[in-house]
Amino acid sequence: MHILMLCTKYPLDPEDGYMTNDLAGALVAAGHYVQVVVNDWNAPFGAPSLRVRSDDGVDVLVIAPRSIACLGRFVEKATKWLLTSVFAWRQMNRVLASQSFDLLICFTPCVTVATQLVWATKHFRTRNILFLHDFFPYHHRSIGLIPRGLVFAVARRFEEYLFRKFQVIGCMSPMNIDYLCKNYRLWKRSRVEVTPIWGRITSLPPIDRAIVREKYGLPLNKKIAVFGGQMTEGRGVEEILQAAAMLKDKRPDLTFLLIGEGRLQYLVEACIATGGDNVIFRRRIPRADYLVLVAACDLGIVCTVAGVDVPTFPSKTIDYVRANLPIVASVENTTDFGRFLHERRVGLALPAGDPSALADAIEQVADNPGRPEAARACLDEVFDVRRTVAWIEGEFETLKS
């Protein structure tokens, strides 16, 4: 297949793995051609476009963002999505119009690549597969990033319109399918299927935990609960810090390590500055280094926020399972993620919004980690990116017939 992939995050270094470049690299390894167009939110505004071929053989067109930044945060974000997509469409038309593609792969929110998506589906007449990992704008509304009322209604209707461009929509779990069908009107010929998140599942090489901890300035003789991910709204950063405060004096043998960057990292820095000496903060590091650092810890934390009705399935789960860490998950009641952890015997789940219960669960797992024996089976049977490649190949053959 000749595959066109549209996304907003794509590390160019295959060793800095993310779902998009893991999938593209695996598709190339399976014998397909992949052209990625990434609207790179982390690139400097207005930077020139970049065409590269990654080390794993994927052709990538990198588009820097455009926006109107002088009218407030909401206008900046809205125009960033719109103007970047329009500019990226013009670049695609200039660079890729003479090529042909069989399959288009896209990720939510679709509105971030709207102009490109509409143009590509008409120009190339591809079969189209959408991976739905974000229920825009419902999740954004629930965590305060999108206002209620007219703005939400328009955003939802636009996302719904773009959903109808796809013959196949992959959701992360059965409850994700239920939520999709309840809140959006889909094209009647669309198929909706469960497609779990994915990643590379190779076992991590043995590490010397003492050496790794010393390298990153971590205590050698304490148990470490790690949270890795974006420090943004909806990730439960506040609840994790509250749980750490509750355990500071009670459990001096326990340390919290938060790894990442984002709008709320100032909360972590403020906690440390005001006496939170059982909390350690490290900025984002390349994926390969991150996995080694996680493997030197004792348990992994997944945390969302209460009052959110959108079912989630955090991708950091794969890293924790690869590192053979038991998982403590504080998640909303509307997700089946907790059931997954229980059925796969890889973690413990509790309702979001209760820092005291989170602290108790972290204590419980730290004292009785019970390294999940099912971790290897979970990786092989659920998270292997090669399974996603095989699913895409099967769906494409079905769409052709």
pLDDT digits (tens, 9 = 90+) for 324-334: 999 999 998 88
String of b and e for 251-273 (b: at least 16 CB within 10 Å)?
beebbbbbbbeeebbebbeebbe
Query: Per residue in 77-92, pLDDT tens?
Result: 667 878 899 999 999 9
> For residue 73, what pLDDT band results from cuts at 50, 70 and 90?
low
Alpha-carbon distances, residue 96 vs 37, 64, 100, 187, 398 (angstroms): 10, 17, 8, 28, 26
Domain boundaries, the chain: 2-199+384-400, 209-380
> For residue 71, what pLDDT band results from cuts at 50, 70 and 90?
low
Q: Give the whole-angstrom CA distance, residue 63 versus residue 61.
A: 7
- Across 171-175, average pLDDT: 95
Q: Where are the alpha helices (DSSP H) in 109-173?
A: 114-124, 138-142, 150-163
> For residue 185, what pLDDT band results from cuts at 50, 70 and 90?
very high
String of b and e for 34-52 (b: at least 16 CB within 10 Å)?
bbbbbbbeebeeeeebeee
Query: Per residue in 260-300, pLDDT tens?
Result: 998 899 999 999 999 999 999 999 998 889 999 999 999 99
- Across 351-375, average pLDDT: 88
Residues 6+ apart with CB under 8 A from 36: 5, 6, 7, 10, 20, 21, 24, 58, 59, 60, 61
Amino acid 271: pLDDT? 95
CATH number of 209-380: 3.40.50.2000, 3.40.640.10, 3.40.30.120, 3.40.50.300?
3.40.50.2000
| Identical topology for domains 2-199+384-400 and 209-380 | yes
String of b and e for 298-309 (b: at least 16 CB within 10 Å)?
bbbbbbbbeebe
This prediction has a pTM of 0.90
Q: Are 223 and 252 in contact (CB under 8 A)?
A: no
Is the pLDDT assigned to residue 75 strictly greater than 70? no
Q: Give the whole-angstrom CA distance, residue 37 versus residue 61.
A: 5
Amino acid 82: pLDDT? 80
DSSP state of 68: -
Q: Does domain 2-199+384-400 have CATH number 3.30.465.10?
A: no
Q: Give the whole-angstrom CA distance, residue 64 versus residue 368.
A: 47
